[in-house]
Amino acid sequence: MQNLLDPAILFFVFGLLAGAVRSNLEIPPPIARFLSLYLLMALGLKGGFALAKTGFTPEVLVGLGCAVTLAFAVPALGYWLLRRLLSRFDAAALAATYGSVSAVTFITAVQHLENQGVAFSGHMPAAMALMESPAIIMAVLLANHARRLQAAAPGGGAPHGLRQVLHESLTDGAQLLLLGAIAVGFLTGEAGQRAMQPFSGDLFKGMLAFFLLDMGLLAARNFGALRGCSPWLLAYAVLGPLVHASLALGLAQLFGLSVGDTTLLMVLAASASYIAVPAVLRVAIPEANPALYFGMSLGLTFPFNILLGIPLYSAVAHQLS
C-alpha cells in the first residue's frame, strides 16, 4: 500500500485512468524523450558516485556476473517455453523482449529502495546496461536459424546481418548515455556529487513522476493489443516475470548479495523492454508481430511490475535476508 501512495506511482495510475477514458492528455514525444534521457543520466551519475566510494571489489564482479548469467538464461528459457505457443519468429521476439530490461522499471525500483532507506551498490546501473544486448543477439541468431530452415520455401527470407544488429544494440544512445554518466560519476566522486545534487538528486523525483504519467498513458493505450491473445500468453506476461525474478533470487542467495542488490537484480530479471528492444526487433525480425511483443510488455507486464512487482520483490528479498 505504501508503494501505491508514492506520488510517482500515483501519477502512473492517473495516466492509466486518463488513457482508459481516452483523454486527449499527452506528453509531446520530444519531452518524453528528454525525460527518458534525464532519468538515465541521473541514474548513471548516482551509480557512478556510489561506485567511486566503494571501488571495484569482488562483490561488484559477482553482481555483474549474476546479471550477465541472467541476461542469457532468461531469453533462452523464454524461447524454449514460447516456441510451444508461437512461431519461431514471434517466440524469438518475445524472448528478446522479456530477456532484456526496462530502464524505467529499474529506476522506479531505485526510487522505492531510496524511499525505504535500503542501500544498494553503485554497480547495479552497469548491470542493467550489460543485460540489455544479449537477448537481442540471441533473438537475431534464432531468427536467422528459422530463416535458413525456410529458405527453400517461396518467399523465404535471408538471414539478417548480425553485425548491424550488434552495432545498433551496443551503440544505442540511451545505453551509451547511461554508461557515460556512470563513468563521469565515478571519475568526479564526492565533489561531482555535490556539484550535481540539484540535477541528479533534487529534480529526480519530479521528473520520474512526469515520465511515469506518460508511461501510464502509453500503457493504457496498448491494452487493446492484448485482445485476442491466447490466455497462455497473457499468463506468461505475469507469471514469466515472477519465474525470472525467482531465478535472480536464487542467484542472489547463492552468492550472498545484499537486500538492495537482490531486489534490483530481481527487478531487472522480471522486467521487459518496451522501447529499445522493440525498436531493434522491427528491423531485425520483421516477420514477428509487433503488437504482440509490444502490447504484452507495455500493456500488461510493465503495469504489473510498477504497481505490484517491485514491492513484492523487495518484500521477498527482505524476508529471505
Residues 225-270 have pLDDT tens digits of: 777 788 999 999 999 999 999 999 999 999 999 999 999 999 999 9
Q: How many CA atoms lie within 13 A of 14 on its CB side?
A: 15
Residue by residue, DSSP assigns 264-318 as HHHHHHH---SSHHHHHHHHH-TTS-HHHHHHHIIIIIHHHIIIIIHHHHHHHHH
pLDDT at position 238 is 94
- 30-147+159-319 CATH choice from 3.40.190.120, 1.20.1530.20, 3.30.360.10, 1.10.275.10: 1.20.1530.20
pLDDT at position 78 is 94
Rounded-to-10 torsion of CA 290, 89, 242, 40: -50
Q: Single out the residue of 139, 135, 115, 132 nearest to residue 40, CA to CA.
A: 132
Q: Which three cell numbers stand for residue 307?
A: 504497481
Residues 44-58 have pLDDT tens digits of: 898 888 888 877 788
Q: Which three cell numbers stand for residue 128?
A: 542493467
pLDDT at position 33 is 87
pLDDT at position 172 is 65
Q: Which three cell numbers stand for residue 236?
A: 506468461
User: How many angstroms separate the CA atoms of 148 and 39, rounded?
Assistant: 41
